[in-house]
Amino acid sequence: MAQKYKDEFLKWDLKTLSNGIRTKEISPLEVTRHLLKRIEAVNPKLNAFITVLYEEALESASQAETEIVTGNWRGPLHGIPIGLKDLICTTNIKTTMGSQIYKDFVPDYDAAVVENMKRAGAVIIGKLNTHQFAYGPTGDRSYFGAVKNPHDLTKMSGGSSSGSGAAVSAGLCYAALGTDTGGSIRIPSACCGIVGMKPTFGRVSKYGVYPLSYTLDHVGPMTRTVFDNAVLLNVLAGHDERDPYSVRKEEEDFTRVIWKGIKGSVIGVPSSFFFENLEPEVESKIRKALEVFEGLGAEIRMVDLPDMQKISLVQQITIRSESYAVHRETLLIYSELYDIEVRERLLLGEDIKAYEYVQSQQIKHFAQREFLKILENVDVLVTPTLPILPPDINQREVYIKGNCEHVRDALLRLTSPSNFTGFPSISIPCGFSEAGLPIGMQIIGRPFDEANLYRFAYAFEQEVSIPTLKYDVN
């Protein structure tokens, strides 16, 4: 079956592969075998995987093939090889959190999202590298080593879902799951040139996912195309009583309006903050993207945002307080086993006062109300995902128009507000720099309006057709 396609099916998107598997034109077992060989050849260059599940993946693919041949097709993920960020628990499979402390930790249960994937018939092909404990946007602080960017091996893949971004971009899996606390799905998606969705807070269960910040963490899909992303979110979303933050919503199809186009819609463009202090190539691509939206029939309208500097500050208070609460006991016992940068960031939460945390939560409600007011008059907001191009691995300062900024602050600056409000936000590719580095565009929407975000993202993707696969990794 797969022989007539040689290795071309490794370059397909999830939708195309799923159609081939459903119609029995291609075998999920052969696909998985070929993909495992590709991982063996390419992963040493990228360091995207911590654990590759050779036997388990082949067994799952064989089972999927048997079921599909006998007419038991479970849906569009059936037989599709997918990777998991390695802080998502998997039964009898190491889950390391990118840390020395948990390098041999083997859970005895699956995270909720893994349960959902297995029910859908997906083939879990491996566990993907992550910035240690997911506390960093650079992706170069893992006990297992830095993840490299498929577009330029000297550049960051972005973090903390570093391995997920690199693996999807390089064609080592057809999709991956990441987590996002300050931008950790969208940052690597932008750096690696793929599609990454941070859903509305509470939309996807966090049960079985190692926490960083209780009120900021999100789990979401990272894919080659917008449609694939919506299909994956269909499987991930749903209420789960084991997650106290999980929200009960009616089941929906996130592809339901994806083809409707955006003619007559209104796109809000922030007049400040999101377009301040950008690298010129980033700003140029975003401006051109807005012209594409106009050409598709959307009105571009400038909007005024609330005090974003204050919102950014209290978001930092929140993540520092909650991450320290998560790690306090472990820090007392295993302090020397933490990466020095991660440990330093965690210890910043030790001196935050209770009243400061409480005030930050009050400001959160203010920020949510203010953003909702803005989104009453526009369909979505469009911004850059990142103000900069992917930096060098281990680079810690960047100059933007003569202004020096810490790389970590720059990477988080435009994504973290959506974690604080909990509003959905998707990053999609919108072009490349002259040096061939990906540039991402962020689309932000109302709570639980992911289907609408996919509509705008899909309209842009179909119009410009920017490649998301970096198959030749050198």
Catalytic annotation, residues:
85, 160, 184
CA distance 101 to 96: 8
Q: Yes or no: say if 134 and 212 are a contact pair by the CB < 8 Å rule.
A: yes
Q: Yes or no: say if 175 and 167 are a contact pair by the CB < 8 Å rule.
A: no
Q: Yes or no: say if 338 and 331 are a contact pair by the CB < 8 Å rule.
A: yes
H/E element, 198? strand 195-198
- Identify residue 283 by its one-letter amino acid code: E
Q: Yes or no: say if 193 and 206 are a contact pair by the CB < 8 Å rule.
A: no
Label the pairing between strands 380-384 and 438-444.
Answer: antiparallel
| Token pair for 216 | 């900021």
CA distance 80 to 254: 19
As beta bridge partners, residue 465 has none
CA distance 378 to 394: 39
Tokens 């009583």 locate to 241
CA distance 362 to 126: 40
Q: Yes or no: say if 417 and 307 are a contact pair by the CB < 8 Å rule.
A: no
CA distance 122 to 18: 11
Instruction: Please give the backbone phi and psi of residue 19, each rounded to the nearest 5 degrees, phi first.
Output: -65, -40
As beta bridge partners, residue 204 has 237
Q: Yes or no: say if 262 and 462 are a contact pair by the CB < 8 Å rule.
A: no
H/E element, 357? helix 354-375
Closest C-alpha among 214, 215, 154, 222 to residue 187: 222
